Amino acid sequence: MEPEAGSYRSAGVDIDAAEAAKDEIAQRVAATHNVSVLRGVGHFGGFFRAPKSDGEVVLVSSADSVGTKVLVAALAGHHYPIGIDLVHHSVNDILACGARPLFFLDYYATPRLDPDALREIIRGMTDACEEAGCALIGGETAQLPGIYQPDTYDLAGFVVGAVEEARIVDGSRIQAGDVVIGIPSVGLHTNGYSLARSVLGLDGTPERAKAILTEPLDVFAGVALMHVLLIPHRSYLPEIVPLLDLDILKGMAHITGGGIAGNVGRIIPDGLLAEFDLNTWEPHPIFGLIQQRGSITGDEMYKVFNMGLGYVVVVSPPDVDRALDEIEDGRIVGRIINTSDEAKVRFVRNEDGWAAS
């Protein structure tokens, strides 16, 4: 069956097929685990008890890439934000488990080395690592002609952090009546660029794509599209660390590929549902532009993009005020309720404004 126009599949990315493949290989992955591996796969990071720590310290690791956002950076000739993206995305992932970053490694692959681009990427990574208190301790630079297209590159990152086992945040303590707090994104972050590029006309000739990228747009108050698409992925470390110190977080989700439902659903225990009130936040204008240009359904938009929320935390009602004191731009966006359905996330538009009360 041909993929529906204006869908992620039509842009070459099949999320459902990827999830099915992950399910199929889960048993093989589990066969490699020993007693030091905690919680298996499926969380925002992998958990491994640190040797000789009497089981008290757990190492949390994650691997990720910037995806096809690198193609936008290559067209625009701006590579510094991509280095920031890589670190922030990776650090946010392990942060969602309660871990603070220790060190970072990168993998840069290209058909032919562009020293200027590499220098800018490294500068972005080192600035982001320094800000996060995370050491960049190594990496790999590979020149692979024949694998990658000319004037392109790929970038992957690997982060390791640590958390005391008793302070792991995995959603297991979430219960009905808890409150969902959302923290805004600053745009697409690092997900959905294959679909965005397709509907915005950036997958055509380089000349045409550059013209589209540099055109000022009224929807962004005259700012060119490339500046909006290359806004670095936001780091949520400054807002979340004080809440970890307060020990009030019951669950966290970094909203990346799969959108709000796909990521928040990973932390919600069986029998519970996170209900989001869509009236409680306003998505960045980039999402409206993409939806309009591509005639994309609302369901598909929420499946692919973060839609204005980059991070979600769950707290008990008595802790809401303390949490919002630390998150300047946070807002209540939902609640946890009991359910008999299999779905872990639901979206509503509640005119009574319960989520803001």
Domains: count for the chain: 2
* The domain boundary residue, chosen from 167, 195, 210: 167
CA angle 89, 91, 97 (to 5 degrees): 115
Structural domain contains residue 344: yes
Quote the CA–CA distance of 130 and 142 in Å, as a whole number: 25
- Whether residues 91 and 145 share a domain: the answer is yes
Structural domain contains residue 190: yes
pLDDT in tens, 60-73: 999 999 999 999 99
pLDDT, residue 75, reads: 95
- Whether residues 81 and 219 share a domain: the answer is no
Q: What is the DSSP string of 170-219?
A: -STT--TT-EEEEEE-SS-TTS-HHHHHHHHTTTS-HHHHHHHHHSB-GG
Q: Please compute the mean of the pLDDT values over residues 38-55 and round it to a whole number.
A: 72
Structural domain contains residue 85: yes
**Confidence band for 12, pLDDT divided at 50, 70 and 90:** low
Structural domain of 72:
33-167
Structural domain contains residue 7: no
Quote the CA–CA distance of 188 and 276 in Å, as a whole number: 20
Structural domain contains residue 312: yes
**Confidence band for 53, pLDDT divided at 50, 70 and 90:** confident
* The domain boundary residue, chosen from 167, 191, 214: 167
What CATH number does the domain containing 279 carry? Answer: 3.90.650.10
Nearest of 41, 98, 90, 100 to residue 63 by alpha carbon: 90
Q: Please compute the mean of the pLDDT values over residues 21-40 and round it to a whole number.
A: 61
- Whether residues 139 and 189 share a domain: the answer is no
**Confidence band for 259, pLDDT divided at 50, 70 and 90:** very high
- Whether residues 162 and 202 share a domain: the answer is no
Sign of the dihedral through C-alpha 194, 189, 355, 275: positive
Ranges assigned E (strand) in the chain: 37-38, 46-49, 57-65, 100-110, 135-143, 154-164, 179-184, 251-254, 272-277, 309-315, 331-338, 345-348
- Whether residues 198 and 258 share a domain: the answer is yes
Nearest of 138, 168, 140 to residue 47 by alpha carbon: 168
* The domain boundary residue, chosen from 106, 136, 167: 167
For residues 108 and 157, the answer to whether their CB atoms sit within 8 Å is no
Number of separate helices (H) and strands (E) present in the chain? 12, 12
